[in-house]
Structure 1
Amino acid sequence: MIVAPESFDALIVGAGQAGPAIAARCSKQGLRTAIIERGQVGGTCVNVGCTPTKALVASARAIQLARRGAEFGFDAGDIRVDMARIKARMDGIVAQSRTGVESWLRGLQHTELITGEARFVAPATLEVAGRRLTAPRIFLNVGARAVRPDLPGIDDVATLDNVSILALDHVPEHLVIVGGSYIGLEFAQMMRRFGAAVTVVGRSPRLLPREDEDVSQGIRAILENEGVRFALASECISLSREGARIVVGAQCERDQPPIVGSHVLLAVGRQPNTDGLGLALAGIDTDERGFIRVDDQCRTSADGVWAVGECNGRGAFTHTAWNDHQIVVANLFDDDPRRITDRIACYALFIDPALGRIGMTETQARAEMAQGRKLLHAKMAMQRVGRAREAGETQGFMKVLVDADTQRLLGAAILGLNGDEVVHGLLDVMAADRPTTVISRAMHIHPTVSELLPTLLQQLEPLT
């Protein structure tokens, strides 16, 4: 029996970061809209990403500060970590966030929330939960998931990913993390602070190879200082069982001792949730990894179809997904030609202390120097920051890169106390396309971490 298509003005597949916001704007425009979600409203960020992991980071930080009580003049006694209570706190925060998003969606006028797995059956036509839906505007916000790498023995052992590890109600005895990714390093520190032994195994000879070497070294020093162990430059990673334990082979030489752990977390990358969508039937192109190809305004190769968020391969963060939504609605409804390439790269690594990163790396800047560009730079240890010394948080550094001719900021890295927040002052000046003197001549509040930004910019010298 062929089901007659139901006509909508807009269809949205996926209720992650960008989807509900697009639905809200469509509702405001008076469009009959359906938003389709196969899992939980809120997507990765709310359910298995930012919200739960930052709740865990907060618990881990509180535990670490309690252990450091003697530094601050008090004794908290023996610290007993109750992982079940930590998980319950996390689950409560997640549930509150998810309920808020779902209530918002269900309260939108002209909008229907449909539960089920959508797939294209023809151009501009989706099938979900026994219904066929068609619309002149379709927005794909289907996200991504953890890659399961092709490692010898991987199917013979139990492994965790960024989702399943959140279900643990006990602290692993020894967590082995395969992959020194941003996700992996956050879990490395938090689980170490909860009391687990932690070893990070990676193929690269250094952590986060896309970062500058001093940033990678600084991050490693922070984690090693807390007892996280590393087995890098591991080209022959394999998994096997040894009774109830998991053996992780990390070196090609057979005489190298393996790493034996109680749990293994796979953190080697992400893949888009585009398989099973029937994209070919809709004329939607993907790249070799399955990410949906989009133009500078998130349009796909099919007329009337946009792809936003992690599935388009143009950003793997909640803030890039949100910006995708802003770009789409600006072009569709506001006659405002915003573009993906207008945005400045920015992200954070939420270890403690955090890394805030914007714009170019020093490695990228040096490549431009080779083409004749003149650059300035400055770097300052966090030990110079009074607020950091007072807080007992002196690890890390600040550094900036500046175009010598225009005095425009090109990039910055702040690894240290509140680095993920402080870096926004620099980001905003970059976005405003203003010279560094806007900050270097400003009076900042004392005592703060941000007050060192003017001092840092007053010490610019040629990058050689």
Structure 2
Amino acid sequence: MPDIKHFDYLFLGGGKGGKSLAMDLARKGKRVALIERGMIGGSCINVACIPSKTLIQNARNMQVWRSTSGEPDLHADMTRVHTNVRAVVDGMIGINRRAFEQSGLEFVLGTGRFVAPRRILVRLDNGSEQLFSGDEVYINTGTVAVIPDIPGLRDSRPMTHIEALNLEILPEHLIVLGGGYIGLELAQAFRRLGSQVTLVHNMPRVAMREDEDVSLEIQSAFEEAGIRLSLATTVTRVDGDSGKKVTVELDDGSSIEGTHLLVAAGRQPVTNELGLDLAGVDLDERGYIKVDDTLATTAANTWAIGEVAGSPMFTHASFDDYRVLKARIEGRSSSTASRIVPYALFTEPELGRVGINESDAKALGITVRVARLPMMAVPRARTNGTTRGFMKALVAPDSGRILGFTMVGSGAGEVTSVVQMAMLGELPYTAVRDAIIAHPLLAEGLNLLFATLD
């Protein structure tokens, strides 16, 4: 067994929450090591948020170019798109690498697994092994894409979002399996870049966590853009080779032929082969690490961060985990209980949401007042020519507090943040209704939205 390198704080995985806390502690003079198996800066920068939103922006630019040129058959040059995506990603990787170095933490590239409580054996990139231990240990290993157990699917070598974001050739016909966030964003992006796109989903509508009116608005936009939707459909078999020719057979006896296949059917935690049983870290029935509302695991002096701990699958949720853990270290009280986590879907129209929706209220037995406003009524939406969609808010009948907000429309994420601030301040809806909001902003629509409750 190799000699042990001991640290005050030891991190396995370098996602948003973990790297932020590790650098904070290192800057304060603590001995800190961060073990990462390959992605400097975490998945958000390398294979998720940053490359996907860069690809989406390229696709949006292509759509504008196609529209203004009057040439509907224009296709993107994927070599140039790929170059742009990689330039953005590489730039942010460089920023993170420099930040690691300047903080003073020890950055370790290798694959780690627990061999005992708070003791991790790492196989380094050069093939050697090194043993690390820590007074406190943080697990931040994230999630990976699920490949469903469908006959022939694995043999077809399908893409996940990782491979799709690295394409240098535009798919002639992309088949997307999955109608969640990743599937929807990439389906629309590749359609705008010039691919034929078919989206197959085993549920009756896309974005099933949203209210039905939200799903239908997104579906309508997709169908108008020429994206074929095959909903409430189960894939029974896949044949062929993604990147060349692939055939997807469905349970109704029909089939779809395409050139490329993208699987966006959910994610699973990276907890296998980590030796968590040897660390005394228990998992739940889905394979996520069991934590309390301070992110403590079942093992002493061991915490989990981000998606692997069952936190919402957003970078900003992982960053809030960092805040919770930092507070504990500094002797302050903080927890994940009752936190308000907003999110956005970066399609067009965009989706922004915070708090509960009508489906949640019904399931919880909560009586609410519902305010609704079409984007057509918002002056800025008219000037921008982006009148598709609506705003919707749920308000408590007695106190007037805002319980939830959903917007489907251009700029939805930004407007949602405005409502979130009001919710954090526990303001009644009338405070937003009567606020002086600059004209003509999209957020000005909130004045009109809440006025419908009068």
Instruction: State the TM bucket, normalised to the shorter chain.
Output: over 0.9
Structure 2 stretches of 5 or more lacking a match?
Answer: none
Specify the code of the residue in structure 1 equivalent to 2:98: S
CA contact under 8 A between 1:358 and 1:427: conserved in structure 2?
Answer: yes
User: Are residue 378 (structure 1) and residue 371 (structure 2) matched?
Assistant: yes
SS across alignment from 1:264: strand
The one of 56, 77, 88 equivalent to 2:83 is 88
Taking only aligned residues, the RMSD between alpha carbons, in angstroms, comes to 1.6
The one of 334, 337, 343 equivalent to 1:341 is 337
The one of 265, 283, 286 equivalent to 2:280 is 283
What is the alpha-carbon distance in structure 2 between the residues aligned to residue 237 and residue 192 of structure 1? 25
SS across alignment from 1:119: strand
Question: Which runs of structure 2 are paired with 1:204-243 in the superposition (5 Å)?
Answer: 204-241=203-240
Question: Which runs of structure 2 are paired with 1:63-212 in the superposition (5 Å)?
Answer: 63-69=62-68, 79-109=74-104, 111-128=105-122, 129=124, 130-212=129-211
Deviation of 1:306 after TM superposition, in Å, equals: 0.7
Deviation of 1:242 after TM superposition, in Å, equals: 8.7
What is the alpha-carbon distance in structure 1 between the residues aligned to residue 391 and residue 450 of structure 2? 10
Partner of 2:387: 394
Partner of 1:434: 427
Deviation of 1:79 after TM superposition, in Å, equals: 3.8
CA contact under 8 A between 2:55 and 2:165: conserved in structure 1?
Answer: no
Q: Deviations over 1:384-438 (max 9, x none)?
A: 1111111111111100001111111111111101001111010111111121122
Partner of 2:7: 8
User: Are residue 360 (structure 1) and residue 356 (structure 2) matched?
Assistant: yes
User: Are residue 423 (structure 1) and residue 402 (structure 2) matched?
Assistant: no
Structure 1 stretches of 5 or more lacking a match?
Answer: none
Specify the code of the residue in structure 2 equivalent to 1:316: M
SS across alignment from 2:443: coil
Partner of 2:249: 249
User: Are residue 409 (structure 1) and residue 405 (structure 2) matched?
Assistant: no
What is the alpha-carbon distance in structure 2 between the residues aligned to residue 4 and residue 441 of structure 1? 66
SS across alignment from 1:107: helix
CA contact under 8 A between 2:353 and 2:405: conserved in structure 1?
Answer: yes
Deviation of 1:44 after TM superposition, in Å, equals: 1.0
What is the alpha-carbon distance in structure 2 between the residues aligned to residue 84 and residue 253 of structure 1? 38
Partner of 1:60: 59
Deviation of 1:172 after TM superposition, in Å, equals: 0.4
User: Are residue 34 (structure 1) and residue 33 (structure 2) matched?
Assistant: yes
What is the alpha-carbon distance in structure 2 between the residues aligned to residue 114 and residue 135 of structure 1? 14
CA contact under 8 A between 1:374 and 1:405: conserved in structure 2?
Answer: no
Deviation of 1:144 after TM superposition, in Å, equals: 0.8
CA contact under 8 A between 2:432 and 2:446: conserved in structure 1?
Answer: yes
* Gap change, CA 1:394 and 1:41, over 3 Å in 2: same
The one of 271, 280, 285 equivalent to 1:274 is 271
Partner of 1:320: 317
The one of 435, 449, 457 equivalent to 2:442 is 449
Instruction: Name the TM-score, length of structure 2 as normaliser.
Output: 0.95
Specify the code of the residue in structure 2 equivalent to 1:48: V
Specify the code of the residue in structure 2 equivalent to 1:422: V
CA contact under 8 A between 1:154 and 1:240: conserved in structure 2?
Answer: yes
Specify the code of the residue in structure 2 equivalent to 1:305: T
Specify the code of the residue in structure 2 equivalent to 1:95: D
SS across alignment from 1:450: helix
SS across alignment from 1:21: helix
Q: Deviations over 1:290-324 (max 9, x none)?
A: 21111101111101111001111121110011110
CA contact under 8 A between 1:184 and 1:267: conserved in structure 2?
Answer: yes
- Over the matched positions of the two proteins, sequence identity in percent amounts to 38
Specify the code of the residue in structure 2 equivalent to 1:438: A
Instruction: Name the TM-score, length of structure 1 as normaliser.
Output: 0.93
What is the alpha-carbon distance in structure 2 between the residues aligned to residue 123 and residue 367 of structure 1? 41
Deviation of 1:253 after TM superposition, in Å, equals: 3.4
The one of 255, 260, 280 equivalent to 1:258 is 255
Moved more, 91-100 or 149-158: 149-158
Specify the code of the residue in structure 1 equivalent to 2:190: M
Specify the code of the residue in structure 1 equivalent to 2:120: L
Specify the code of the residue in structure 1 equivalent to 2:90: A
* Gap change, CA 1:210 and 1:261, over 3 Å in 2: same
Deviation of 1:10 after TM superposition, in Å, equals: 0.5
Deviation of 1:80 after TM superposition, in Å, equals: 4.5
* Gap change, CA 1:190 and 1:77, over 3 Å in 2: closer
SS across alignment from 1:247: strand
Structure 1 residue ranges (4+ consecutive) displaced by more than 4 angstroms after TM superposition: 75-78
